[in-house]
Structure 1
Amino acid sequence: MKELKLNPNRFIAIYARKSKYTNKGDSISAQIENCKEKIKRLPSYNESIEIKEFSDNGFSGGNTNRPQFKELLECCRKNQVSLVVCYKIDRISRSLRDYVDILREFDTHNVEFMCSSQDFSTLDCNHKFMMNIFMAFAEMERDMISERIRDNMLSLARTGRWLGGTTPLGYKSVQQTEVISLDSNNKIRYLHKLEIVPEEKEIFMKIYKKYIETGSLTQVERYSHEMGIRTRNGKYFSISALGQLFRNPVYAAADQNMYEYFSEKGAVVSGAKASYDGTHGLMVYNKMNQNGGKSHQQHPVEEWIVAVGEHEPFMTGEEWLKFQERLELSRSRKYRSDRKNSALLSGILRCGNCGSFMRPKGYNSVDINGNKNFGYLCEEKEKSRRTNCDMKNPHGLELDKLVCREIKKLSENSAVFLKQLDYAEEKIFETSDDNRSELKELKKEDKNIERQKENIMERLSNEPAENVEFTESMRNKYNSLNEKQKVIRESIYKLESINNNQMEKKNQIERLKETFSSFPTTFDAMPNDKKRELIHELIEVVIWDGNSAHIYFKGRETKDEILLKFLEPLDGGSK
C-alpha cells in the first residue's frame, strides 16, 4: 500500500447517503461517525486538517443526481479535496458505470478514496487491478445498455410511433387507443402518432415556398419579420431556426427515394423496402444526443434509425432531397460582416426602440480625411424592412467620435478614471482565473489520455499477432482516445490564445493607469482594433434613441448621455 500524503491546503471529505428517511439500516450520523474514526486512525492525519461532511438523505445511489454529492464533486474539480471517505462503496454509487467514472474523476484531481467499513482504498496496490476488472464490467454494462436501447428503438420504429418531446412545426402528438406495452411500473404505454395542425402547416408551407422562390434563408428570415410570421414561442424565425426546421426529414414522404438516400448514408433503415411507398411520412429515431445536456447535438447519420411513420408528409422524398441540395448551396451565401470596417461600437450599440443590435452599414462615400462613411443600422429594421422598427440611422463616424470623446473625458477626474480601469481589470482577472482553472484541468486530462495511449501500445506490443479480436479492440480504443485528445488540445490552444489576449489587455490597462494624465493622446494614437477592445472593456452598452446616445459604463449605476443631431445618409441609402 502506498503512503497517504494529505495536503494541508485541502480538506478531507466524508460522504454519507441513505436512500430513504427510515430508521432501518445505517443512519447518516452513524456513517459519519464511523468515517471520522477511520480518519483519526490515519498516520498522516492531524487536527489542523479540516474535515467537511456531505450527506444526501432520501436519495438513491442509482444515479449521481444528488445535491450534496454534486457539491462534493465540484470541490474535487476545484482541487480542494485530498481524500474522500465513505462508509461503504455503495454509498458513493450503486451503478458500476457511475462508480468507475467517479473514481476516474478522483484520480484526475489527485483525490484519494477509501471506505471506513470495507477493505477498499485507492492506496491499495490491488486497486489498479480491481479498477481494470470494474472498467471491463462497466464497458460490458454500457454495451449491453446501448444494445437494449437500440433494440428498443428498432422495435418502436416498426410502429412508426412518436416518442415524445417537442413536435415539429405543423404537427401535434395524438394518443391512440392501441396499447404498446406495460412499462416497468405496469403502467400502460399508448401509441402516439403525429397529426397535422392546419394553421401551422400553412406557416411552414409559406416559408418553404418563400425559400424555393428566393433560395436564401436570409430572405425567408426577412419575410418572417415583414409578414409577422412567428414560431410557436412568438419569436420571428431566425436563420438557424429555419435551417433546423428545413433539414428535418419528418416532412418528407417515406418513399423509395428516401429509402435509397438513407441506405447509402449508412443509417439503419427499418422495414421492408416495399413499405416505403410514399403514403406516410418518415420518422427518424436516435437523431439527437439526449445525454449530458447535449440535446442540440446531432448523432452521425450512421447512428440514425429511419422508419415509416404514421403521419401525413408535407412533400415527396424527391422534393425534400432537392430542398436539401439548395440548402447546402445557401451555406456559402451567409451574410459576413466587413472585417475591415472601422466601426467601434459593433456589439454594444442597441436600438432604443426595439432593443436589437445596430450593425455598421457602409456608404459609397468618404469623409474629408478619406475615411469611409457608414451608419449604424438597426437589425430588426433591416430584417422587417421598417415594418417592426423605423429607427433613424446615426452617422457612424460621428457617433464613434463622440463616444471616444466621452471616454477621454474620464481622465479629467483621476479617481473616477482609475476606478473605471480597476473595474475593467477586475473583470479580466475573473475571466482569466476561470480560464486558467479550465486550462489546468484540460492539460491534466491530456496527460491522462497520453498515458492511456502508451499503455495500449505497450499491451499491443506484448500481445501475440494471432489475437486479432483483441488487437482490433485495442486499436479502436486507441483511435477513440486519439480523437478525444485532438478535441482537448484544440480547446487548450483556444484557451491559451484567449489568456494571451487577456494578458495583453491587462498590460494595456496597466499602461493606461501609469499614464492616465496623457490618456487622451494615448487613446487617440491607438489603432482601431485596440480602441474597440478598450471601449468594450469600459462600456456595458450604448443605446441610441434616434436623437441621442445613452452610454452605460461598466461598474456605474448611472448613465451618461450625449446628444447627436441625426444626420442623413451620405449616399441616399436606407435611413
Structure 2
Amino acid sequence: MKAAIYSRKSKFTGKGESVENQIELCKTYGASNGYTDFSIYEDEGFSGGNINRPMFRSMMKDAKLKKFDAIICYRLDRISRNVSDFSTLIDKLKDLSIDFISIREQFDTSSPMGTAMMFISSVFAQLERETIAERIKDNMYELAKTGRWLGGTPPFGFCSEPIYYLDNNSKQKKMMTLSPIAEEIDLVKYFYSQYLSLGSLGQLQKHLVQENIKTKRNARWDIKALNIVLRNPAYVNSSELVVSYLATKGATVLGVPNGNGINSYNKKNSKGVAKDVNEWILSVAKHDGIISDTEWLNVQRLLDKNKILAPRLVTGSDCGLFNSVLRCSKCGGRMISKQGHASVKTGETIRYYVCSTKTNTYGRDCDCKNIRLDKLENEVMKEIFEVTSDHGDLINAINKYKQDLENETSSKVDIKTLSTQISTKELQVKNLVDKIGINPNIYDVLATRIEELNNEIKSLQFKKFEIENSQSNIKEALKKIDTYTAMLLNFEDLFKNADYQMKRLLVNSLVNKISYDSKTKLTEIKLFCAKKKVVL
C-alpha cells in the first residue's frame, strides 16, 4: 500500500519535532502497518492557522488522483489548528476513500471509532485555544486591578516606564506605569480649559489652527483626536464623583479612587472597532491625575450635551456620488458634500463639494473654492457616459490587457516540465537510497548528493507552487475582467436605472480618482480604463 507523509513546522529550526524527525517517525509507523511506498510532503515555515500551504495543496491534488491510500502525520495539529478546516479535510478524504492516520494520538480513520476520536480531539484542541484566550483576558482583568499599565500606546501626554517593588517573597518585581511628559501634559490642561471656555470641539479645533498648535507628528489636531483626549479618564484625579459618572455610562472602575488617574483597557476589538463602555476594563492607576475631578466632569457633561445637539452623519443620497473619489487638486485633500443655502428662485437647498482640508483648517492650509454638487456631478457623468459608450476603443483596450495577462501565463515555465523534473530527481534520490540499502558503506559518498537533490526538489516544488498560484490568480483576474467589461458596456443604462446607493457603487467601481481645480475650473477624471479632462 502507498501512503503520503505530511509534515509541518511553523519555524525553520533543527530542534525538537523537526520536519525530518516527523517524517522518520511516520515512515517507521507506516512500515509496521503494511505501507511500503511513501510520498513525502513537507511544509516548513508555515503556520497551522490555515491550510494555504504549497505542499499541503500539492498533497491534496495527488489525493484526488488516488496516488496513495492513506495520509500519515505525526500529530493532528500538523495538519491544521482549525476544526472547520480539519473537518473539511476528513470529509474530502472519506469521499476519496483515503484513510487519515495521526501516530501521536494513535487515531486512524480506517475505523469508525478512530474517526470519532479524531474529531473529539480536534474540538478539544480548539476549545483549549479559546480557553487560553479567556485566561489571558481574565489575567488582564486581575492585573488591571493593580493599576499597572498593561502595554499599548500610552495616552497623549504620557510615556510608560518601569517601577520596581518587592513581592511577598521579598523578590524584586517590575511593573509598568504611566509617566507624564511635561510639555504634552501642559497642552492637555490647555485643551480642557479652552474647551470649557469655547464651548465646542469645532471651536477648539479652530482655535488650535489659528494658534498653529499641532500634534507631535506636526499634523493638525482633528475633532476625533481632541475628543479622545477630553474623554480619557487617564488625566482625571479619581474620586467617588468620577466613579459615579462612569457608572452612569455602564462602566465599573476597579480599585479605590485616590486622586490618581484611571487606566482603561479592552476599549477596541481585534479589528480596531470601539467597544461599548460597559465592556471596558477601568482601574485606578499608579500615576497621578492632572485634571481635577470637577473640571473633568464639567468637560464630560458638555461633551455629552454637544453630542446630542450635533448633526447626525449624512447618509443616503445626501452623501454625494463622488465623496469617495473626489480630491482637491491644490492640496490633495478629499472633497466631500456639504449642505449650503436654499435657492432664492426654487427654494431648493443647494449642496456643494468642499475641500476637507479647507474646512478642517478654516482656510489656513487650503483656499480651494467650493463647487456646486449638481453641476460637477452632471458634467462628470456626461464624460463618463461618453467614454463608456465608445465600445470600439474600450473593447480593444480590454482585449489587449487580457492578452497581456494570458501571455504572462504562457511565458512562464510549463508546469508539466517542472513536474517531470521533480519526478526525475525524486527517482534519482530513491535509486541512491536503494544503493545505500544494499551497501551501507557508501552512505558518506552519496549522502551529500542526496541532500543536494532534495534541495533541488524543494526549490522546484516551490517554483511550481508559485506558478500555479500565479496562474490561478490570473484566471480569477480574467473572470473579473469579463464581469467588469459587461458592466462597462452597459454602464449608462445600469446607472440610470439604479438607486442612489447602487449609483455610488457603480461610480466607485469605474472611477479611480477625480481631481478638481477651483482656480482653472479643470476637472480631471481618471477611470480605471481611461483618463478624461473637463473644464466646468
> Per the shorter chain, which TM-score range?
0.5 to 0.7
Specify every segment of 5 or more residues in structure 2 that has no aligned partner in the other structure, as ranges.
64-69, 94-99, 403-481
Counterpart of 1:350? 327
Q: Could you say if the C-alpha distance between residues 341 and 300 of structure 1 is closer, same or farther in structure 2, counting changes exceeding 3 Å? A: closer
Counterpart of 2:142? 154
What residue identity is the alignment partner of 2:184?
Answer: E
Q: Could you say if the C-alpha distance between residues 88 and 405 of structure 1 is closer, same or farther in structure 2, counting changes exceeding 3 Å? A: same
Q: Which of 255, 258, 264 is 2:239 aligned to?
A: 255
Conserved in 2, the CA contact under 8 Å of 1:17 and 1:91?
Answer: no
Are 1:87 and 2:67 an aligned pair? Answer: no
| Distance (Å, rounded) in 2 between the aligned partners of 1:161 and 1:197 | 18
| Distance (Å, rounded) in 1 between the aligned partners of 2:401 and 2:361 | 36
SS in 1 for 2:51: helix
Counterpart of 2:190? 206
Question: TM-score w.r.t. structure 2 length?
Answer: 0.64
Counterpart of 2:528? 554
Q: Which of 191, 208, 217 is 1:233 aligned to?
A: 217
Q: Could you say if the C-alpha distance between residues 115 and 412 of structure 1 is closer, same or farther in structure 2, counting changes exceeding 3 Å? A: closer
Q: Could you say if the C-alpha distance between residues 386 and 33 of structure 1 is closer, same or farther in structure 2, counting changes exceeding 3 Å? A: same
Conserved in 1, the CA contact under 8 Å of 2:237 and 2:293?
Answer: yes
| Distance (Å, rounded) in 1 between the aligned partners of 2:339 and 2:316 | 12
Q: Could you say if the C-alpha distance between residues 265 and 199 of structure 1 is closer, same or farther in structure 2, counting changes exceeding 3 Å? A: same
**Which is greater in Rg?**
2
| Distance (Å, rounded) in 2 between the aligned partners of 1:540 and 1:423 | 20
1:378 Cα offset (Å): 0.5
| Distance (Å, rounded) in 1 between the aligned partners of 2:161 and 2:145 | 17
Q: Could you say if the C-alpha distance between residues 423 and 296 of structure 1 is closer, same or farther in structure 2, counting changes exceeding 3 Å? A: farther
Alignment of structure 1 residues 389-538 onto 2, 5 Å: 389-411=366-388, 413-418=390-395, 510=486, 513=489, 522=493, 529=500, 532-538=504-510
Counterpart of 2:407? none
Conserved in 2, the CA contact under 8 Å of 1:268 and 1:304?
Answer: yes
| Distance (Å, rounded) in 2 between the aligned partners of 1:78 and 1:379 | 48
Q: Could you say if the C-alpha distance between residues 18 and 71 of structure 1 is closer, same or farther in structure 2, counting changes exceeding 3 Å? A: closer
| Distance (Å, rounded) in 2 between the aligned partners of 1:251 and 1:90 | 50
Alignment of structure 1 residues 324-339 onto 2, 5 Å: 324-332=300-308, 333-337=310-314, 339=316
Q: Which of 74, 79, 86 is 1:106 aligned to?
A: 86
CA distances 1:549-575 after superposition (whole Å, capped 9, x unpaired): 11111134xx422223xxxxxxxxxxx
1:214 Cα offset (Å): 4.8
Conserved in 1, the CA contact under 8 Å of 2:352 and 2:371?
Answer: yes
What residue identity is the alignment partner of 1:175?
Answer: P
1:26 Cα offset (Å): 6.3
1:386 Cα offset (Å): 0.4
CA distances 1:280-328 after superposition (whole Å, capped 9, x unpaired): 22234x43468xx446554763662523x23221323344344334333
Counterpart of 1:498? none
- Calculate percent identity across the aligned residue pairs: 20
| Distance (Å, rounded) in 2 between the aligned partners of 1:423 and 1:321 | 65
Q: Which of 11, 17, 23 is 2:9 aligned to?
A: 17
| Distance (Å, rounded) in 1 between the aligned partners of 2:351 and 2:370 | 9
Are 1:313 and 2:297 an aligned pair? Answer: no
| Distance (Å, rounded) in 2 between the aligned partners of 1:26 and 1:92 | 11
Q: Could you say if the C-alpha distance between residues 389 and 15 of structure 1 is closer, same or farther in structure 2, counting changes exceeding 3 Å? A: same
User: Alignment RMSD, CA only?
Assistant: 5.1
Q: Could you say if the C-alpha distance between residues 129 and 206 of structure 1 is closer, same or farther in structure 2, counting changes exceeding 3 Å? A: same
Specify every segment of 5 or more residues in structure 1 that has no aligned partner in the other structure, as ranges.
1-5, 7-11, 57-65, 94-98, 426-505, 565-575
Counterpart of 2:411? none
Question: TM-score w.r.t. structure 1 length?
Answer: 0.60
What residue identity is the alignment partner of 1:15?
Answer: S
Conserved in 1, the CA contact under 8 Å of 2:74 and 2:102?
Answer: yes
Conserved in 2, the CA contact under 8 Å of 1:408 and 1:523?
Answer: no
CA distances 1:101-124 after superposition (whole Å, capped 9, x unpaired): 523442266566532565214665
SS in 2 for 1:310: strand
Conserved in 2, the CA contact under 8 Å of 1:16 and 1:91?
Answer: no
Q: Could you say if the C-alpha distance between residues 193 and 382 of structure 1 is closer, same or farther in structure 2, counting changes exceeding 3 Å? A: same
